[in-house]
């Protein structure tokens, strides 16, 4: 891979993916592999793990603070909506942009997640090409255009 660049902060971008479906996680990983910005993708499979990661508990003592979180809504153990609420109620975490990436197209889910201060809501596209487009768009917008808060 050529033409890889560092993020706007002059370093690699740290991304946390909260996703229970390995197929989806792998797709995100494959998509981000082709991203221009050098990024490190961390993958956790449920809400509890996500909170441990963010609080640097247990095996996550040495992980970095993520620059952006990609969050699925339907998760085992701790639901994505609860994870979102916890993040947005936490003084130290609430500035991290949360991109809700879910299969749900329900208007209720959309309204509810924005009420919980999600930074954006994206329905998982059906095809690979669209999925890659979404990953590109996330990269282009959240990792390039947007000024992220200082860590």
Partner 1 sequence: MSGYSKDQLIGQPFSKFFTDHDRAQAGIEKVLAEGGLSNYDLSVATKDGREIPVSYNATVLRDPDGRITGVLGSARDMTELKEAEKELRGAGAYNRSMIEASLDLLVTIDPDGKITDANSATEVATGCSREELIGMDFSDYFTEPEKAREAYQHVFQEGSIQECVLQIRHRDGHFIPVLYNASVYRDEAGEVIGAFAAARNITKVTEAADDLKHSVQDLSRSNDELEQFAYVASHDLQEPLRMVSSYVQLLEKRYKGKMDADADDFIEFAVDGANRMQVMINDLLSFSRIATRGEPFKPTDCENVFDRAISNLQTAIKESSTTVTHDPLPTVTADRGQLEQLFQNLIGNANKFCERRKSTPCINVSCERIEESAIPVTKSGIDNGWIFSVKDNGIGIEPDQVERIFGIFQRLHTREQYSGSGIGLSVCRKIVERHGGRIWVESEVGKGSTFFFTIPGEKNEE
Distances (CA, A) of 59 to 43, 49, 71, 84, 109: 13, 10, 20, 22, 32
CB nearer to partner 1: give 22 or 149.
Answer: 22
Q: Which stretch binds partner 1 (CB under 8 A): 21-29, 41-49, 60-68, 141-149?
A: 21-29
Contact by Cβ (8 Å): 36, 88: no
Contact by Cβ (8 Å): 65, 14: yes
Q: Is 101 in the site for partner 1 (CB under 8 A)?
A: no
Site string for partner 1, 23-62 (x = CB under 8 A): xx--x--x--------------------------------
Q: Is 131 in the site for partner 1 (CB under 8 A)?
A: yes
Q: Is 78 helix (H, G, I), strand (E, B) or coil?
A: coil
Q: How far is the CB of 52 from partner 1 (least distance, A)?
A: 26
Number of residues that bind partner 1 (CB under 8 A): 12
Contact by Cβ (8 Å): 67, 143: yes
Q: Which of 124, 135, 138, 143 binds partner 1 (CB under 8 A)?
A: 124
Q: Is 103 in the site for partner 1 (CB under 8 A)?
A: yes
Question: Which residues, at least 6 apart from 133, have a Cβ–Cβ distance to it below 8 Å?
Answer: 125
Helices and strands per DSSP (H, E), number in the chain: 5, 5
CB nearer to partner 1: give 129 or 145.
Answer: 129
Displacement of CA 145 from its chain's centroid (Å):
16
Residues making contact with partner 1 (CB under 8 A): 21, 23-24, 27, 30, 103, 124, 126-129, 131
């Amino acid at each position: 891979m050529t033409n890889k660049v560092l993020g706007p902060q002059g370093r690699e971008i740290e991304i946390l993916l909260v996703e229970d479906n390995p197929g989806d996680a792998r797709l995100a990983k494959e998509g981000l592999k082709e991203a221009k910005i050098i990024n490190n993708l961390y993958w956790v499979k449920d809400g509890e793990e996500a909170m441990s990661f963010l609080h640097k508990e247990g095996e996550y003592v040495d992980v970095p603070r993520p620059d952006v979180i990609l969050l699925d809504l339907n998760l085992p153990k701790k639901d994505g909506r609860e994870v979102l609420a916890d993040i947005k109620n936490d003084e130290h975490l609430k500035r991290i942009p949360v991109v809700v990436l879910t299969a749900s197209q329900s208007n209720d889910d959309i309204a509810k997640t924005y009420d919980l201060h999600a930074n954006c809501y994206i329905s998982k596209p059906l095809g690979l090409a669209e999925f890659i487009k979404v990953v590109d768009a996330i990269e282009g917008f959240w990792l390039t255009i947007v000024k992220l808060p200082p860590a």
